[in-house]
C-alpha cells in the first residue's frame, strides 16, 4: 500500500491518504508479524520489497518487541535483524558418501550445493528482563510491546524485490516476539548510496588481547569504488559475559580505535552509562547496571565515523584496535560485533533539515520518563544538507490552539543530530480525548528547505494529572544511604520552588514539605546518585524509602504514592489547580538568539488535493495586510497577490495550466506572521 506520510518517522502518528506517488509518499512492507522467538534460533521470513525503480529519501525499520504467546522471558538476550545478502559464490557439503564404489572416482556421493549468503545487520536489540511482563506485575501484562526505530536507508539498493530477512534470538528459553515493518519514503536521499561492505561481524571471544586482535580485529582490505566521494563507517559492539576477575566484557568499559590506511580516524567507548534512565522500568533483573554498549531492553549503541581521506578506485585498509586487558576466571568475555562501511556520491542538498523526532510531548513508550508533560517541548533535528545548519524558524503548538514561532540559532554539522528545547507553551489545564502536538520547520538558514517533506510531525500526548488541592504535603523518606538522595520541585520555566540536596538529610527519616502553588505545571524530581532508586531487590543494604503526596489534614493518608525502583530519577509532571480545558498560548520571549510570538492569522485551504482550483479563506481578528504566494517544488513563484486592510478574504487560485505535483502556499501578515502549507495538484 502506498500512502502519503506527513509525519513519517513515528508512523503510528501519521495521517495516511492515498495519493499519486511523489516525494514523501511511503510504501510499507511487513516481514515478521508477531513471530514467536522461543529458543536459540534464526527466524527467517521472505519479504517482497519495491522493485528498486523509485528513489527513496529514507527507509525506516520499526522493530516491535513483545512477549511470545507463552509469555516473556525473564532474561536479557541479544536479538539481531539481518538482511541475507546473496554473494553469487557457491559452496557445497556432502550429504552422503559412496562407500560401495571401488573406482578412484566416487561416483555415487551426493553433494548439497548452495549459494553463500552474507548476513548484514540491520539492527540489534537486547531484550529486557521480562519477569514482570510474564507475571503481569508492576503495571505490565503479556500484551506489552516496545518499538525501536532503525534508519536502514543505506541498504536501500539491497532491499528490493524478493529478499530474506532474518531475526536471530540468542535466548535459551521462551521468549519474545518480533514484528518488523519497513517504510520506504520516496524522495531524494541526502547523498546517493554507491556501495556497502561488511568489515567485521559475528560473536568474538576475548581470550587474550593478542589473539583477539590477530584473529578478529585484523586489518581488512576494502575495495573503494572509483566513483565514491564520501564514506561513513558504522559500528555496533556489545560486550557479554562477566564471570571473571574484571567483570568483562559486560561490566567493563573499553575503548576501541578505528584506523584507516594506517591513521587514526576516530575512537569510541564500548559503554552505555545511562541504564538507570531506561524507559522500560522497573525490570526484574539487574537492569540499572551500566553495561558494555547496551542496557536490558535497549538498542545496541551505534557509533558513526565519517571517512573522507580514502583513495577512490583502489584498495584501502580499515583496522579496529581494542583497549588491552587481561582476565582470569571461569567465563571468557565475548563481543558481538557488526561494522560496515557505506560509500556515497556527492551531496544532493545544501540547506536541508529533517525533523526526526518529537521527544515531548509524546505518548511513545521510548519517552515515558519525560511524559506526560506540560513544559518546554523537545524535538530532535538532523542536518541533511552540506551547509552547516545555523538557523531555523520552527512553528509548533497544540492543535486547536495558538501556534508559536521560534527562531532557533546554533550549529549542527552535516549528518549530525541535536535535541532542541522549544520555549514553553505556558500550558494551562488539561484536555480529554486524544490531543495532538504539531511541529513544522518552515525555513532553514534563512531560506526555504530544499526538501520540505520531512519537516513536519505530529505526536499524540497525554496530559499530566491534575492535583486539585489548596495545599498538600510532599513526603520523602530516605533509606540507609541518604547522601545519594536529593529532590526538588520546579515550575514550568525550570525555576526551583524548593529542594533538598544530597548530604542534607539523615538516614531513614521522613521529610514532609508543605506545598502551596499557583495554578500551572510543575515537576517533582527525586534523584538517586547510586542509580538504584530508593529501594531495589539487588541492593538490600540500602534499605528502602518512600515518596508520596499526603493529605494536609490527615498527614498519615497518602493521596499518591510512587514506586521506588526507579534507577537514576523519579520524574513526575503534574498540573496544579487548573481549568478543565487546554488554553495554550505563547508569550513573547526575546533574547539574543530566540524569539517566540503569538500568531494571529488563520486560513483554510481546500480542497487538498485539488484538480485545478485552490480555495483559500483568510481571516484575522484585526485589520491587516496580507501577501500570498504559490510556489512549485523548485521554489519558483507561480502566483502572487497582496491584500490590503482586511479581516477576511476568499481567494480562488486557478492552477489548471500547471503540471501535477506538490506545491507550497505561503501567506504573510503585516504583523510579521507567516504560514506555509503543502498541497497536491492532480490532473
pLDDT, tens only, 145-155? 999 999 999 99
Alpha-carbon span 325 to 210, nearest angstrom: 10
Mean local confidence (pLDDT), 276-286: 95
Whether residue 44 is preceded by a cis peptide bond, meaning omega within 30 degrees of 0, is no
Answer yes or no: is 538 within a domain: yes
Q: In terms of pLDDT, which residue wins out, 424 or 328?
A: 328
Question: Could you count the other beta carbons within 10 Å of the beta carbon of residue 76?
Answer: 24
Q: Per-residue pLDDT for 45 more than 80?
A: yes
Q: Looking at residue 669, what is its pLDDT? A: 79
Q: Across residues 169-175, what is the average pLDDT?
A: 91
Per-residue pLDDT at 609: 87
The per-residue pLDDT for 7 is: 31
Identify the domain containing residue 483 by its residue range.
466-576
* Shared domain check, 340 and 413: no
pLDDT of residue 15: 28
Distance CA 622, CA 626 (A): 12
Across 160-164, 246-250, 600-604, least confident range: 600-604
Query: What is the tens place of the pLDDT at every residue in 436-470?
Result: 899 999 999 999 999 999 999 999 988 888 887 77
Helices (H) and strands (E) in the chain, counts: 2, 42
In a shared domain, residues 304 and 317: yes
* Alpha-carbon span 616 to 612, nearest angstrom: 13
pLDDT class of 22 with cuts at 50, 70, 90: low
pLDDT score recorded for residue 274: 95
- Domain count for the chain, please give it: 5
In a domain, 596, yes or no: no
**649-652: long-range pairs with CB below 8 Å, 24+:** 649/617, 649/618, 649/619, 650/615, 650/616, 650/617, 650/618, 651/614, 651/615, 651/616, 651/617, 651/618, 652/613, 652/614, 652/615
Instruction: Report residue 142's pLDDT band, with 50, 70 and 90 as the boundaries.
Output: confident
CA distance 414 to 382: 8
pLDDT of 680 over the 90 cut: no
Q: Is 325 domain-assigned?
A: yes
pLDDT digits (tens, 9 = 90+) for 631-641: 886 667 899 99
Residue 621 lies in a domain: yes
> Is residue 105 exposed (0-12), middle (13-18) or buried (19+ Cβ within 10 Å)?
exposed
pLDDT tens-digit readout, 540-569: 999 999 999 998 766 678 889 999 999 999
Q: What pLDDT does residue 96 have? A: 64
Mean pLDDT, the chain, integer: 87
Length of the chain: 683
C-alpha cell at 159: 532491499
CA atoms lying within 13 Å on the CB side of residue 404: 26
Same domain, 364 and 290: no
CB 397 within 8 A of CB 379: no
Using a cut of 0.85, tell me whether the model's pTM lies above it. no
| pLDDT of 21 strictly over 50 | no
Point out the domain boundary residue: 133, 167, 189: 189
Least confident residue range of 60-74, 494-508, 661-675: 661-675
Other Cβ atoms closer than 10 A to 618: 20
pLDDT at position 632 is 81
Residue 383 confidence class, pLDDT cut points 50, 70, 90:
very high
Does residue 111 lie in a domain region?
no
* Distances 626 to 601, 640, 641 between C-alpha atoms, Å: 10, 11, 8
Say which residues have a Cβ less than 8 Å from residue 54's Cβ, sequence separation at least 6.
21, 184, 186
CATH code, domain carrying 613: 2.60.40.2550
My answer on whether 46 and 163 are in the same domain is yes
For residue 318, list its beta bridge partners. 220, 260
580 confidence band (pLDDT: 50, 70, 90): very low
**What one-character-per-residue DSSP string does 248-308 give?**
TTTTS-EEEEEEETTEEEEEEEE-B--GGG-SS-S-SSSTTS-BSS--TTSBPP-EEEEE-
Q: Are residues 132 and 252 in the same domain?
A: no
CATH number where 328 lies = 2.60.120.230
Mean pLDDT to the nearest integer, 613-631? 81
Q: Which three cell numbers stand for residue 271?
A: 559503554
pLDDT tens digits, one per residue of 199-248:
999 999 999 999 999 999 999 999 999 999 999 999 999 999 999 999 99
| 32 and 125 together in one domain | yes
Cβ neighbours of residue 620 closer than 8 Å, sequence gap 6 or more: 600, 601, 602, 646, 647, 648, 669
- Among 41-50, 117-126, 528-537, 574-583, the minimum mean pLDDT is found in 574-583
In this prediction, residues 350-357 reach a mean pLDDT of 97
Question: At 558, which CATH number?
Answer: 2.60.40
Which stretches of 348-495 are assigned E, i.e. beta strand? 353-360, 378-383, 389-398, 403-412, 417-421, 436-444, 456-460, 465-467, 472-477, 485-491
Comparing 444 with 493, which gets the higher pLDDT?
444
Is the pLDDT at 581 greater than 50, yes or no?
A: no
pLDDT of residue 682: 87
* Span of 106-110, 456-460, 515-519, 608-612 with lowest mean pLDDT: 106-110
* Cβ–Cβ under 8 Å, residues 29 and 47: yes
First to last CA, the chain: 21
Q: What was the pLDDT predicted at 100?
A: 59
Tens digit of pLDDT for each residue in 48-84?
Answer: 999 999 999 999 999 999 999 999 999 999 999 999 9
Using pLDDT thresholds of 50, 70 and 90, give the confidence band for residue 627: confident
Same domain, 343 and 359: no
Domain boundary pick from 133, 162, 189: 189
Report the pLDDT value the prediction gives residue 400, as an integer from 0 to 100. Answer: 75
Residue after which a domain boundary falls, among 347, 377, 409 = 347
pLDDT at 597 over 50: no
Can you tell me whether residue 629 is helix, strand or coil? strand
303 with 442, same domain: the answer is no
Q: Give domain status of residue 562, yes or no.
A: yes
Q: Band the pLDDT of 104: cuts 50, 70, 90.
A: low
Q: What backbone torsions phi and psi does residue 541 show, to the nearest 5 degrees?
A: -65, -25
Contact 459, 437 (CB under 8 A): yes
The region of weakest confidence among 184-198, 250-264, 660-674 is 660-674
The pLDDT score that the predictor gives to residue 9 is: 34
pLDDT at 92: 63
- Same domain membership, residue 125 and residue 35: yes
Between CA 423 and CA 71 the distance in angstroms is 43
d(CA 664, CA 650): 18
514 or 455, greater pLDDT: 455
| Residues 6+ away with beta carbon under 8 Å from 195 | 225, 228, 342, 343
pLDDT at 665: 87
Contact (Cβ atoms closer than 8 angstroms) between residue 676 and residue 444: no
Does residue 2 sit in the same domain as residue 124? yes
Residue pair 512/505 in contact by the 8 Å Cβ criterion: no
Span 488-493, mean pLDDT?
88
Could you give the residue ranges of the DSSP H alpha helices within 124-196? 131-135
> Nine-digit cell at 239?
560486550
Q: What percent of the chain has pLDDT over 90?
A: 66
Joined together, the cell numbers standing for residue 273 give 552509562
**Residues 358 and 209 placed together within one structural domain of the fold:** no
Residue 552: all three cell numbers together: 494536609
584 within domain boundaries: no
**Least confident range of 77-91, 528-542, 600-614:** 600-614
State the cell numbers at 86.
546473496
316 pLDDT above the threshold of 60: yes
pLDDT at 575: 83
pLDDT recorded at residue 631 = 86
What integer pLDDT is reported at residue 8 of this predicted model?
34
Give me 40's grid cell.
536459540
| CATH code of the domain in which 403 resides | 2.60.40.10
332 plus 219 within the same structural domain: yes
Flag whether 585 is in a domain: no
Amino acid at each position: 500500500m502506498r500512502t502519503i506520510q506527513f509525519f513519517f518517522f513515528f508512523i503510528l502518528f501519521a495521517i495516511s491518504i492515498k495519493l499519486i506517488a511523489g516525494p514523501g509518499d511511503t510504501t510499507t512492507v511487513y516481514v515478521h508479524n508477531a513471530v514467536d522467538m522461543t529458543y536459540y534460533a534464526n527466524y527467517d521470513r521472505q519479504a517482497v520489497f519495491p522493485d528498486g525503480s523509485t528513489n527513496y529519501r529514507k527507509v525506516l525499520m520499526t522493530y516491535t518487541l513483545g512477549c511470545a504467546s507463552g509469555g516473556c522471558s525473564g532474561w536479557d538476550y541479544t536479538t539481531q535483524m539481518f538482511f541475507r545478502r546473496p554473494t553469487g559464490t557457491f559452496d557445497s557439503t556432502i550429504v552422503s558418501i559412496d562407500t560401495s564404489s571401488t573406482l578412484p572416482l566416487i561416483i555415487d556421493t551426493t553433494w548439497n550445493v548452495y549459494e553463500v549468503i552474507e548476513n548484514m545487520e540491520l539492527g540489534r536489540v537486547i531484550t529486557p528482563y521480562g519477569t514482570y511482563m510474564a507475571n503481569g506485575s508492576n503495571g505490565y501484562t503479556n500484551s506489552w510491546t516496545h518499538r525501536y526505530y532503525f534508519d536502514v536507508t543505506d541498504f536501500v539498493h539491497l532491499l528490493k524485490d524478493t529478499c530474506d530477512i532474518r531475526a536471530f534470538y540468542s535466548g535459551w528459553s521462551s521468549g519474545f516476539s518480533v514484528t518488523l515493518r519497513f517504510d520506504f519514503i520516496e524522495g531524494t536521499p541526502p547523498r546517493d548510496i554507491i556501495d556497502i561492505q561488511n568489515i567485521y561481524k559475528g560473536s568474538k571471544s576475548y581470550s587474550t588481547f593478542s589473539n583477539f586482535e590477530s584473529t578478529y580485529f585484523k586489518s581488512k582490505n576494502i575495495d573503494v569504488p572509483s566513483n565514491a566521494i564520501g564514506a561513513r563507517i558504522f559500528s555496533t559492539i556489545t560486550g557479554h559475559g562477566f564471570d571473571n576477575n574484571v567483570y568483562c566484557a559486560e561490566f567493563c568499559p573499553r575503548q576501541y580505535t578505528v584506523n584507516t590506511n594506517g591513521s587514526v580516524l576516530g575512537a569510541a567507548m564500548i559503554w552505555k552509562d545511562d541504564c538507570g534512565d531506561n524507559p522500560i522500568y522497573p525490570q526484574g533483573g539487574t537492569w540499572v547496571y551500566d553495561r558494555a554498549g547496551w542496557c536490558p531492553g535497549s538498542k545496541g549503541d551505534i557509533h558513526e565515523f565519517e571517512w573522507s581521506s580514502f583513495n577512490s578506485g583502489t584498495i584501502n585498509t580499515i583496522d579496529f584496535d581494542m583497549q588491552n586487558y587481561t582476565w582470569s576466571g571461569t567465563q571468557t568475555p565475548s563481543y558481538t560485533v557488526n561494522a560496515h562501511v557505506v560509500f556515497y556520491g556527492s551531496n544532493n542538498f545544501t540547506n536541508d533539515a529533517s525533523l526526526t523526532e518529537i521527544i515531548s510531548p509524546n505518548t511513545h513508550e521510548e519517552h515515558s520518563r519525560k511524559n506526560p508533560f506540560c513544559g518546554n517541548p523537545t524535538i530532535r533535528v538532523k542536518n541533511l544538507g552540506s551547509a552547516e545548519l545555523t538557523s531555523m524558524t520552527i512553528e509548533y503548538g497544540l492543535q486547536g490552539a495558538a501556534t508559536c514561532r521560534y527562531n532557533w540559532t546554533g550549529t549542527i554539522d552535516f549528518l549530525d543530530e541535536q535535541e532542541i528545547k522549544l520555549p514553553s507553551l505556558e500550558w494551562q489545564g488539561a484536555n480529554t480525548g486524544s490531543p495532538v502536538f504539531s511541529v513544522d520547520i518552515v525555513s532553514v538558514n534563512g531560506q526555504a528547505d530544499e526538501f520540505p517533506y520531512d519537516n513536519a510531525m505530529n505526536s499524540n500526548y497525554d496530559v499530566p494529572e491534575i492535583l486539585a488541592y489548596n495545599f498538600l504535603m510532599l513526603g520523602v523518606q530516605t533509606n540507609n544511604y541518604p547522601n545519594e538522595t536529593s529532590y526538588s520541585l520546579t515550575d514550568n520555566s525550570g525555576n526551583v520552588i524548593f529542594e533538598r540536596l544530597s548530604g542534607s538529610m539523615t538516614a531513614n527519616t521522613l521529610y514532609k514539605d508543605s506545598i502551596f502553588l499557583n495554578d500551572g505545571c510543575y515537576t517533582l524530581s527525586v534523584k538517586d546518585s547510586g542509580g538504584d532508586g530508593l529501594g531495589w531487590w539487588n541492593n538490600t543494604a540500602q534499605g528502602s524509602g518512600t515518596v508520596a503526596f499526603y493529605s494536609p489534614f490527615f498527614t498519615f493518608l497518602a493521596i499518591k504514592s510512587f514506586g521506588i525502583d526507579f534507577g537514576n530519577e523519579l520524574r513526575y509532571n503534574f498540573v496544579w489547580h487548573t481549568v478543565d480545558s487546554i488554553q495554550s498560548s505563547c508569550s513573547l520571549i526575546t533574547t539574543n538568539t530566540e524569539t517566540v510570538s503569538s500568531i494571529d492569522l488563520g486560513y483554510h485551504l481546500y480542497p487538498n488535493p485539488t484538480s485545478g482550483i485552490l480555495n483559500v479563506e483568510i481571516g484575522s481578528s484585526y485589520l491587516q495586510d496580507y501577501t500570498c504566494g504559490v510556489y512549485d517544488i523548485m521554489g519558483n513563484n507561480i502566483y502572487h497577490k497582496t491584500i490590503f486592510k482586511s479581516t477576511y478574504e476568499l481567494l480562488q487560485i486557478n492552477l489548471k495550466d500547471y503540471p501535477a505535483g506538490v506545491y507550497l502556499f505561503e501567506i504573510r501578515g503585516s504583523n510579521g506572521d507567516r504560514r506555509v502549507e503543502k498541497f497536491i495538484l492532480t490532473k
